[in-house]
Structure 1
Amino acid sequence: MKSAALAAVLGTLIATPALAQGVPYACPVLASHVVANDGLTRSRAAVKSGRIVILAVGSSSIEGVGASSRSLGFVPLLQAGLERRLPGVQVTLINRGIGGETARDTAMRLEAEVTLARPDLVIWQLGTNDILRDRSTDDILTDFQAGRAVLDRERADVLLIDPQRLPETTTNPAFRGRNPALGDISTVIDQQATASGYAVLHRFTAMADWSGLDRGGVGPDDLHLNDWGYACWAEVTAEGLADALR
C-alpha cells in the first residue's frame, strides 16, 4: 500500500480497539500495553508545564529502517500521536536510533546523548539484536545496569521497549524459532523495569494481536517493521504513554 493511502485510512483502522465479538482488529490500540511502574514523574510535570522533550534510543526500529519514508517511522508517528492526545503540549521527540545496536552499544553512548538532549523522558528500545546475536541474559543485564546508572544519575524518566516478534513463517535460519527467546528477554526487561521504577511498553505482547496485518507488521526481510507495523506500534505507545502522562 502506498504511503498516501496508508495515511488516509490509518486513523480509521487503529482507532477502534476490538470488534464487538471480542475479535481484535488488525491493530488493537490498548493503553494497557504501557505500564508506568510509578515512574514518569518528571514527564508528567513537563506535560503540565506545556512542553516535554523525549529522547528515543535503540536500534533500527527506532531509527525507522523498513518504513517507506522517514515520516512513517516509529518516532515521527509517535510524536504525532502524542500531539493529538496531549493538545496544547509542545512535544519534541529526538530520534537517536542506530541500526544494529545491542544494549551495550546504546548504554555506551547514553551519557553523551542525554547530556546533549536534556530530555524529560528517555525511550530505550532494547533486546532484539542481543537475542539475534545469541548474547546471554547476564550480559544483557550487565549492559542494562550500566545504562541505568547513567539514566538515574541524569534523573531522566525512562520508558523501556522490549523486543519485537518475528514472523513464524520466516525461512531465514538466523530468525527461525527465535520468538521464544525474544519473549523470555521481554519478561526480563519487564522485571527490570519494575525493579527500576521505569515505565515499560510490552511491544512483544502487543504484536501478538497483529495477525490481521500483512506479515504481522514485519517487512519482507522478516526483521524490520513495515509501514503498518510502525503505525500500530506508534499508536499503541502513544495511547499508553499519553494516558500515563495525563
Structure 2
Amino acid sequence: MRINFSSAALAALSLAATVTAAPAELVKRQSTVKIMALGDSITGSPGCWRAYLWQKLQQAGIKNTDFVGTLAGQGCGFPYDGENEGHGGFLAVNIANQNQLPGWLSSTKPDIVIMHLGTNDVWNNRPPAQITTAFSKLVDQMRASKASMKILVAKIIPMKPSNCAECGARVVALNSAIGTWAAAKNTSSSTITVVDAWTGFDTVSMTGDGVHPNDAGNRKLADTWFQPLASAIRGLKI
C-alpha cells in the first residue's frame, strides 16, 4: 500500500531527524582533547600559568580538555587540572638524547603538546642549533605517538639570572632560531605553532629571580598561551 505524506508531515519528519542527530554531533564536537604541557621548572614547579590557562579556558566555555602528564599538579590557590611534564632542571637536549619523551607520550597519549623548553639549555650555553636539533627529535617522537599531533612551541621568556650575564642574549638567539626551525618542521597534518612568550615579558616585574615567573608573570604567560591553545582545541578533529 502506498502512503502519501503531506509537505507539512515531511517537514516534521525532517525536523525530528535533525533533532535526533544533534546530540551525537554535539558529543563529537565536544570530544575530550588531551593536552600535555612539556617543559622544565617554568612549566612544572609549580608552573601556575597552567592553572590560570586552564581557568581561562573554562571561563571561555572550553571545557572539553584533559591536561595530561606523569607529574601531578602543584598548589596554585584554586583547584585546576594540573597534570604536566614540567621537569625542573631538565634540558631539551637531554630529554631528546635520553629518549625520555616516548614513555611520557605512551602513558598520556596527548592530542596537543604545548612546549616551553630551552631555558636550562641556554643556561648551560648549548647553542641554538643543538637545541633545535633536539626539538626536531622531540617533534618526531610526538608525531610517532600521534600523526596529527598539534604542537605549540614557545619562544621562551627572557631570563636575567644573577650568575649568567650572557643568558639574555642567548635567549634572543634561541628564539630567533625557533621561528626558522618551526617553519621548516611544520606539516599540514601536524602543525607547529610558534607562541611568542618573550615579547612583553619583563624579568624585573614578572619574575622573582630573573628566570621563574611570579604571579604577574604566570598571568602574562596564561594570556599568551590562551588564544593559540583555544584555536588548536577548536580546530582539532578527534
Aligned with 1:204: secondary structure? Answer: coil
Partner of 2:157: 164
8 Å contact 1:127–1:162 — kept in the other structure?
no
> Matched residues, percent identical?
23
Q: How does 1:1-246 map onto structure 2 within 5 Å?
A: 48-65=29-46, 73-85=48-60, 87=61, 89-94=63-68, 95-107=84-96, 108-154=99-145, 155=147, 156-167=149-160, 172=162, 174-197=163-186, 198-207=192-201, 210=202, 215-219=204-208, 221-246=209-234
TM-score (ref. length: structure 1): 0.68
- Residues 47/76 of structure 1: CA separation in 2 closer, same or farther (3 Å cut): farther
Q: Distance in 1 between matches of 2:224 and 2:62?
A: 21
Structure 2 unaligned blocks of 5 or more: 1-26, 69-83, 187-191
Kindly provide the CA deviation profile for residues 99-146 of structure 1, in whole angstroms up to 9, marking residues without a partner as x. 111112333221111111111101121121111101122321321221
Q: Deviating runs (4+, > 4 A) in structure 1? A: none
Structure 1 unaligned blocks of 5 or more: 1-45, 68-72
Q: Distance in 1 between matches of 2:28 and 2:231?
A: 12
Q: Distance in 2 between matches of 1:88 and 1:100?
A: 32
TM-score (ref. length: structure 2): 0.70
8 Å contact 1:63–1:99 — kept in the other structure?
yes
Which protein, 1 or 2, shows the higher relative CO under an 8 Å CA cutoff with sep ≥ 6? 1
Report how far residue 244 of structure 1 moved: 4.9
- Residues 199/134 of structure 1: CA separation in 2 closer, same or farther (3 Å cut): same
8 Å contact 1:121–1:158 — kept in the other structure?
yes
8 Å contact 2:207–2:214 — kept in the other structure?
yes
8 Å contact 1:59–1:100 — kept in the other structure?
yes
Aligned length: 184
Q: Distance in 2 between matches of 1:82 and 1:190?
A: 26
Q: Distance in 1 between matches of 2:28 and 2:119?
A: 31
Q: Distance in 2 between matches of 1:88 and 1:74?
A: 17
